[in-house]
Amino acid sequence: MSAGGSKRERNKADRRDRILAAAVALFYQRGYRATTYEAIARRAAVSRGTVFNYYPYKEALLVALMAGELDALKRRIARLAPGSLGGPTAEIAFVFEELAGFVESHRDLVLPLSYELLSPDPERSRAAYLALPLAEMLRAALVRAREIGELRTDFTPERLARSLANSYFLTVLQWAAYRQDRSIRDELRAALKIGLEGILAR
């Protein structure tokens, strides 16, 4: 890539990050619904059209916020010493715990983010799901669990990872919609326990 191209890409990334940071700050100052594209543009020192170019609808800002958290979490896990979390299933539990912290610190934004994953527009719903690669993170741990004989063999790691990711997102949606009197950490721990151990008596 040329120096000019690299600089252009950096400028675009910086602009994208600046818009996202401005939007999140305004969401907490004014509320998600009350925050307009005009206000985001003013705070980020860009045009309204530029905001639309990067984020064509407000929910896209929320997807980008969580995508950044997942990317940061993936990098934190990669920096850990091998086995320091205690094995693949412990790594999955660590992911759920870390993401519970994200939900706690962004509780007012979780509901509109969750609705975006369930958007009646299938293209938007699919784009949001693909932008939040939680299933892929979990799949990597499940592949390692299969290698050491901890994982059932009648379903692929991909299928099991999607089930766990769906359990995470639906638990968060329910909590944000009508269970905020409960601990999101406890709710996610219970969901993960059921996901890993099943519902049938042993």
pLDDT in tens, 140-154: 999 999 999 999 999
Q: Give the 3-state secondary structure of residue 60.
A: helix
| pLDDT tens, residue by residue, 3-52 | 556 888 888 999 999 999 999 999 999 999 999 999 999 999 999 999 99
The whole-angstrom separation of Cα 70 and Cα 72 is 5
> Rounded to the nearest 5 degrees, what angle is found at the Cα of 137, between the Cα atoms of 73 and 157?
160
Task: Report DSSP letters for 7-46, one per residue.
Answer: HHHHHHHHHHHHHHHHHHHHHHHH-TTT--HHHHHHHHTS
What are the chain's domains? 1-56 (1.10.10.60), 58-197 (1.10.357.10)
